[in-house]
């Protein structure tokens, strides 16, 4: 099995790279801040994305935003400077679907294949190897990548051609934030009524009202634990992508737009590095009410 490269040792990529190593793969890593790459024990640290591509036929990318992906792929010392015919780029970042298609087309001119494979499941999923991956690309490329993605995911779903993975990830993010809004409002209602919050959560999460966000972020909200599985700043980046895509398609998403504005108020307060479940803080301000504690 060929060596695999991984670019981006952030809150998601570091856990994914460690799971690749645990599965027995030879892994080469690169990160803009080298110390984060060096912290991945047993991995080889590349000097640049181009150096990494020269060492590996499959290159995973998990960075923050669309310009970051463009830079690590097409920059002066980017992946394409070291890749050629037969290389496969697997982009786990959440970026613009239209830019994804453009990048894939430019890579194809060099004989480099592209799979867009954004993930869901938070930092917990990256660490535990339980991520859900939504994949866009040619079937053969998806199968080639699947051998590695299985190391850090429990669900890998081929959703169509290149760009489809990014669209489905935006669908995922709409569901995430609207579920988070519902969880915040529901627990604040329970708080205002004076009922036991933990008992309330236990009573409703197993029924029709249950959701991943409620079960995983509800306890954090109750105990006022704002450590991020996914930060507000990153969530906002994704919501900008959602709203841009909705604008291109002429689709009205009022609930998503509302959450975007609520998160904006938290960013203005300097809370962008907190977990996305801190959305409840914006509603606390509206109600002059404090959840849990």
Closest to 268 (Cα-Cα) out of 91, 223, 260: 260
- Look up tokens 């994305």; give the residue: 49
Alpha helices in the chain (DSSP H): 13-22, 34-38, 49-55, 66-74, 97-108, 122-128, 139-149, 164-193, 197-205, 212-222, 232-249, 254-268, 280-287
Q: In a 3-state reduction of DSSP, which class is residue 156?
A: strand
Annotation says 169 is catalytic: yes
Determine the Cα–Cα distance for residues 204 and 189; give it in Å rounded to an integer. 13
Q: Which of 36, 169, 202, 281 is catalytic?
A: 169
Q: Residue 113 CA to chain centroid, in angstroms?
A: 21
Are residues 126 and 152 in contact, defined by beta-carbon separation less than 8 angstroms?
yes
- Please give the structure tokens belonging to residue 11: 């809150």
State the DSSP code for 79.
Answer: G
Determine the Cα–Cα distance for residues 38 and 41; give it in Å rounded to an integer. 7
Residues known to be catalytic: 169
């Amino acid at each position: 099995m060929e060596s695999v490269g991984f670019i981006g040792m952030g809150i998601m990529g570091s856990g994914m790279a460690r799971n690749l190593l645990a599965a027995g793969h030879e892994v080469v890593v690169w990160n803009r801040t080298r110390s984060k790459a060096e912290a991945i024990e047993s991995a080889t640290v590349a000097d640049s994305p181009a150096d990494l591509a020269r060492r590996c036929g499959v290159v995973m990318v998990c960075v923050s935003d669309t310009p970051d992906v463009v830079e690590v792929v097409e920059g002066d010392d980017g992946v394409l400077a070291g890749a050629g015919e037969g290389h496969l780029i697997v982009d786990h970042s959440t970026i613009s679907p239209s830019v994804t298609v453009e990048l894939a087309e430019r890579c194809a001119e060099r004989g480099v294949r592209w799979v867009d494979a954004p993930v869901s499941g938070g930092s917990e999923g990256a660490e535990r190897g339980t991520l859900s991956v939504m994949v866009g690309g040619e079937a053969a490329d998806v199968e080639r990548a699947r051998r590695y993605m299985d190391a850090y995911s429990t669900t890998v779903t081929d959703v169509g051609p290149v760009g489809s993975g990014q669209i489905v990830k935006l669908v995922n993010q709409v569901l995430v934030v609207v579920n988070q809004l519902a969880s915040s409002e529901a627990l604040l209602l329970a708080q205002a009524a004076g009922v036991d919050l933990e008992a309330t959560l236990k009573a409703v999460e197993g029924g029709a009202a249950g959701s991943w966000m409620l079960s995983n972020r509800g306890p954090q909200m109750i105990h006022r634990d704002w450590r991020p599985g996914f930060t507000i700043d990153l969530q906002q980046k994704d919501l900008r992508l959602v709203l841009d895509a909705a604008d291109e398609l002429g689709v009205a998403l009022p609930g998503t737009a509302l959450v975007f504005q609520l998160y904006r108020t938290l960013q203005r307060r300097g809370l962008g590095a907190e977990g996305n479940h801190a959305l409840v803080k914006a509603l606390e301000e509206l109600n002059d009410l404090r959840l849990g504690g």
